[in-house]
Amino acid sequence: MSQRILITGASGCVGQHIAEQLFRETDAELLLWLRDPAKLTAVPVDHPRITLLVGDLREGKPHRDLIASADRIIHTATAWGDPERAMQVNVVAVKALLAAADPGRLQQVIYFSTASILNRQLQTLPEAMEFGTEYIQTKAICLEQLEQHPLAERIVAVFPTLVFGGRVDGGGPFPTSYLTTGLAEATRWLWLASWLRTDASFHFIHAGDIARVCVHLATRPHQANPEPGQGAVRRLVLGQPVVTVNGTVSRLCRWRGVWQAPFGVDLTGWLIEGLIKLLRIEVNAWDRFSIRQRYFQHEPVSPPERFGLVSGAPSLEAVFEAAGLAQRGRL
């Protein structure tokens, strides 16, 4: 018997990658919850295996029967910008979604958070509540509540790192992630970045590789959390091995054919503050914490290879190519 999988945020970059892979690689029935069906471009909306749940996540009552029919839930929907909406979507609506599910049928929930709220050991950062934006704070609150939820042992919380996806020109079947959109803008400042150095590092992952991990989890029997040192909710930080900011700038310069100085100016605290003022960059308390933090690294990190899979974009060069970022020779 085929599984029935509910995906919230199904028209987003990650949501569409998950829906497309599940549609192509499995016989699962897909319940796709989204606000605007016109934005769904990666799967055929009129296929008999696809049912659309149209509406805001905060208004789930019309869909309660379909929610209760789901064997698995992949919850990618989120909100940011407005504090009240963020609380309603990122916390209240998540509890309502789980309350509408049938505990006698529901096997697994894959809940999307963000790696920004976790420290190196995958524990919640106290600063997420102290300095976080409404998005960061509500994600931290929701995770704390899910750890105490009756369905906690059926929940896998995934924490994507920096997410690339789609194309810089907006073409192709998948939406463009905010980070990929920023690639084109970043190339305009390579002349400046090539003279700067900073001691910082991060993980990244492509939306297609996030989908590979989620499809793997959603098509295998769920088990109690096997990860050591965690609670009932399994925590998986989705990302490729760590890369440095200096290395990223060098690789982007080579990709775009931009000369990079053999030496550079170290970005000290006072210089960063000066650039913020010069470039008129708006920063908040969380931005300033992130600048001080510098090392956004996690252990363990979970690329597709951790599950015996193969990444579609394991390197930054593969990300640039997938994004359609023009290559202008190597220096």
276: helix, strand or coil: helix
C-alpha span between 173 and 166 (Å, rounded) = 8
Structure tokens at 313: 């974009």
Q: Angle CA(162)–CA(84)–CA(147) in degrees, nearest 5? A: 60
Distances from the Cα of 151 to the Cα of 70, 108, 192, 312, angstroms: 14, 9, 50, 32
The region that residue 174 occupies, defined by phi over 0 for left and psi between -120 and 50 for alpha, beta otherwise, is beta
Reading the chain (331 residues) residue by residue, the pLDDT tens digits are 689 999 999 999 999 999 999 999 999 999 999 999 999 999 999 999 999 999 999 998 899 999 999 999 999 999 998 999 999 999 999 999 999 999 999 999 999 999 999 999 999 999 999 999 999 999 999 999 999 999 999 999 999 999 999 999 999 999 999 999 999 888 998 998 899 898 899 999 999 999 999 999 999 999 989 999 899 999 999 999 999 999 999 999 999 999 988 888 887 777 777 777 777 777 788 888 887 788 899 999 999 999 999 999 999 999 999 999 999 865 4
Q: Are residues 212 and 283 in the same domain?
A: no
119 and 263 inside one domain: no
Domain identity same for 71 and 188: no
Does 188 share its domain with 284? Answer: yes
Q: Provide the domain count of the chain.
A: 2
> Which residues, including other chains, have CB under 8 Å from residue 188's CB and lie 6 or more apart?
none
Backbone CA torsion sign across 221, 226, 227, 229: positive
177/63 same-domain check: no
**Residue 120 and residue 82 share a domain:** yes
Cβ neighbours around 189 below 10 Å, total = 12
Query: What domain range includes position 95?
Result: 4-163+205-238
Assess if residue 66 is contained within a domain. Answer: yes
Q: Is the residue at 153 inside a domain?
A: yes
| In a shared domain, residues 178 and 233 | no
H helices of 171-244, where? 178-188, 190-193, 207-218
CATH classification at residue 68: 3.40.50.720
Domain final residue, candidates 238, 261, 284 = 238
Entry pTM: 0.94
* Whether 120 and 253 share a structural domain: no
Q: In terms of domains, do 142 and 29 share one? A: yes
User: 185 and 210 in one domain?
Assistant: no
Q: How many CB atoms lie within 10 A of CB 203?
A: 21
Angle at the Cα of 165 from the Cα atoms of 159 and 166, rounded to 5 degrees: 155
